[in-house]
Copies of this chain bind each other. A is one copy, B any other.
């Protein structure tokens, strides 16, 4: 195995010229945490980019390690919860100051001292750095079998990645939808919401989604097959909106937002409703004591509702089952995806901020190379 020189190699399904590799080292831009984000959305004050050189020559790769060019990075709301400097509701480890941000990503092996990987292999990892290259051990890598696959690489970060798995766990393992039930999904045009809603449709439910623009309302109904959808920013009274859009009550609320919407939902739950709590994007940018509380939890008693938080890490042993099911739906055209692609490592911060402004549609992906 030789060190990657200045040659053409395949990225995704396109051939591109490798940039910046000089004598075994590459110029590598990486995002790091400069200061903690007490409240609000991360800005250039908190996240900064720097250029380092990384030696990716085989001689310098440690035993059992590989060198990876990162092609795609997943940009997800939970990243915000690692930047506040104190463990929050998601209970995630906090980045150190100056530590490189990490995220789920897809890359190509460009050098290997690990017998299980060779140059050209495509791999995903939940812990790639927000950078263009890395040298890493293989413990978190999973090889993608790209042969004969009709699946676009971006789907490994989306329908087959964290969002798809999150939707599958929350909707199917916790929500357990039954045909004819009434489902409501908030942040429904987001990365997780679009799959959560489509999975419930596949299971024979009536599915309603909310989102933040009229364009996304149309997307939900026309592209993703939701039975109905509404723009929550146009609704001054969530309670009235739910009476209108969910006239038969709610059997499963797939909660992506928390706060006032969750409170409104609790006035519309049916007997024995289930509320998988996936995350609460309305809550991430505030310190908890400033948040608006949910005042009607007593409704959980009267309607005998189960509300359950989940993280996909606890269900990782079911990943194979998930992937087989979703790939099946994809082949049958039953699952559609919408991706918002940002280009180049410089765009990482913009991509992350877009999630919280609601300007994104579908899964936000950063494409580093194509």
Residue A176 CB within 8 A of the other chain: no
| In contact, A295 and B302 (Cβ under 8 angstroms) | no
Q: A289 to B263, alpha carbons, bound, how many Å?
A: 11
| In contact, B283 and A298 (Cβ under 8 angstroms) | yes
Q: What's the nearest-Cβ distance from chain B to residue A171, in Å?
A: 15
Q: In the complex, identify which listed stretch (A24-32, A51-59, A303-311) lies at the interface while the others stay far away.
A: A303-311
| In contact, B310 and A301 (Cβ under 8 angstroms) | yes
Residue A42 CB within 8 A of the other chain: no
Residues A298 and B263 in contact in the complex (CB < 8 Å), given A306-B306, A307-B308: no
Residue A300 CB within 8 A of the other chain: yes
| In contact, A300 and B277 (Cβ under 8 angstroms) | yes
Question: CB < 8 Å: which of B277, B278, B295, B304 contacts A311?
Answer: B304
| In contact, A295 and B301 (Cβ under 8 angstroms) | no
Closest Cβ neighbor of A293 among chain B residues: B293
Residue A92 CB within 8 A of the other chain: yes
Q: For residue A87, which residues in chain B have a CB less than 8 angstroms away from its CB? A: 302
| In contact, B294 and A304 (Cβ under 8 angstroms) | no
Q: A278 to B300, alpha carbons, bound, how many Å?
A: 10
Q: For residue A307, which residues in chain B have a CB less than 8 angstroms away from its CB? A: 297, 300, 306-308
| In contact, A258 and B314 (Cβ under 8 angstroms) | no
Identical subunits present? 2
| In contact, A90 and B304 (Cβ under 8 angstroms) | no
Residue A89 CB within 8 A of the other chain: yes
Q: What's the nearest-Cβ distance from chain B to residue A112, in Å?
A: 36
Q: For residue A302, which residues in chain B have a CB less than 8 angstroms away from its CB? A: 87-92, 309, 311
Residue A279 CB within 8 A of the other chain: yes
Residue A292 CB within 8 A of the other chain: yes
The A interface is mostly helix, strand or loop, or mixed, namely: loop
Q: For residue A311, which residues in chain B have a CB less than 8 angstroms away from its CB? A: 301-302, 304
Q: For residue A309, which residues in chain B have a CB less than 8 angstroms away from its CB? A: 299-306
Residue A288 CB within 8 A of the other chain: yes
| In contact, B292 and A294 (Cβ under 8 angstroms) | no
Closest Cβ neighbor of A303 among chain B residues: B91
Closest Cβ neighbor of A296 among chain B residues: B288
| In contact, A89 and B304 (Cβ under 8 angstroms) | no
| In contact, B293 and A258 (Cβ under 8 angstroms) | no
Question: CB < 8 Å: which of B91, B284, B298 contacts A90?
Answer: B298
Most buried by B among A272, A297, A314: A297
| In contact, B298 and A308 (Cβ under 8 angstroms) | no
Q: For residue A308, which residues in chain B have a CB less than 8 angstroms away from its CB? A: 300, 304-308
Residue A349 CB within 8 A of the other chain: no
Q: What's the nearest-Cβ distance from chain B to residue A76, in Å?
A: 14
Closest Cβ neighbor of A299 among chain B residues: B89
Residue A262 CB within 8 A of the other chain: yes
Q: What's the nearest-Cβ distance from chain B to residue A163, in Å?
A: 15
Residue A142 CB within 8 A of the other chain: no
- New contact pairs (14) apart from A258-B298, A280-B297, CB-CB < 8 Å: A89-B296, A90-B302, A272-B314, A277-B300, A280-B298, A280-B301, A288-B295, A294-B295, A300-B309, A301-B309, A301-B311, A304-B309, A306-B308, A306-B309
A-B pairs with beta carbons under 8 Å apart, 11 shown: A87-B302, A88-B302, A89-B296, A89-B298, A92-B302, A258-B298, A280-B301, A291-B296, A292-B293, A300-B308, A303-B309
The 8 closest A-B pairs by CB, nearest first: A293-B293, A89-B298, A91-B302, A300-B309, A301-B309, A293-B295, A90-B302, A291-B295
